[in-house]
Amino acid sequence: MNELQQNFRDRLLAAEKSTPSEKYRKDLANLRVRKMSRAQRVAMIAPMLFCVAAAIRMASPALNPPQNLPMLARIGLGVGAVGSLVWAVLMGIVVKRGVIRRKSDPVVMNRILVTMFAVATGIAGFLALGMPDRARGTQVLVVEAILLLIASVFLIQSLIEQAELRTREKLLELEMQMQEVAEQLRQSADTKH
């Protein structure tokens, strides 16, 4: 598009006189969040209580271990308890807030879940190595390895994607800055002439 075509487009757009409805503006403002109904809020209390119960259940043997419970298992249970508690707190915040932030809330919860999963599989792997029944230990280890591999692939993929986006963002910023500088230079050259 040259300057003339750009000018034509601007004038064409200016000819369209319309203001958005109140509903449009309101719905657009709510796009990033989803309001929860009373029933949804109540329904979310159940998994929240489950997380609290799970945290207590895991924390109890971690703090007062029964005999022969390996240290790694205690650590695993401790991590699980903390993770469950964090999840419960997050759900509590969402329930209290009454809205789900569509982009950020699921991301935070997923990250916690993935971290817990990675830690749990790692610990279970170490525990499997120390199992007296070698065949059973190997079986557990193989399953753990597969799960860990899948989780790692997803994690690496997401890290690569984020890195790529970061790089592209920086490049675009640079490109835009260069364009601005070029435009300024062109303008100052025009004034001189």
Partner 1 sequence: MKTSSKKEYGEHLYHELLVIRVRRGDASAFEELVRATETLMFYYVRRLVGNEEDAWDVLQDVWVKAFRGIGSLRETSRFRVWLYSIAHKTAMSHLRGAYRDRSFIDDSPAPETAEDLSERPNPDEAERVHAALDGIELPFREVLTLHFLEDLSVEEAAQIIGVPAGTVKSRLFHAKQALKKVLKREENV
| Phi-psi region at 68: left, alpha or beta (left = phi > 0; alpha = psi -120 to 50) | left
Indicate whether 189 belongs to the interface with partner 1 (CB under 8 A): no
Query: Does residue 101 bind partner 1 (CB under 8 A)?
Result: yes
Q: If you search the block for the tokens 């750009």, which residue do you land on?
A: 6
- Binding residue (CB under 8 A) for partner 1 from 32, 34, 111, 136: 32
Q: Does 64 bind partner 1 (CB under 8 A)?
A: no
Buried b (16+ CB within 10 A) or exposed e, 118-130: ebbbebbbebbee
Region binding partner 1 by CB under 8 A among candidate stretches 5-13, 55-63, 74-82, 128-136: 5-13
Structure tokens at 181: 């500088």
Shortest distance (Å) from residue 68 CB to partner 1: 45
Among the listed residues 60, 98, 104, 111, the single contact to partner 1 using CB under 8 A: 104
Among the listed residues 44, 46, 81, 48, the one whose alpha carbon sits nearest the alpha carbon of residue 62: 81
Q: Which stretch binds partner 1 (CB under 8 A): 18-26, 36-44, 66-74, 123-131?
A: 18-26
Query: x-or-dash pattern for partner 1, window 148-187, by CB under 8 A?
Result: --------------x--xx-xx--xx-xx--x--xx----
Q: What angle do CA 85, 87, 91 make, to 5 degrees?
A: 115
Instruction: List Cβ neighbours of 36 (8 Å cut-off, separation of 6 or more).
Output: 44, 94, 95, 98, 99, 100
Identify the helix (H) or strand (E) that includes residue 19: none
Residues at the contact surface with partner 1, assessed by CB under 8 A: 1-9, 11-16, 18, 20-21, 23-24, 27-28, 31-32, 101-104, 107, 162, 165-166, 168-169, 172-173, 175-176, 179, 182-183
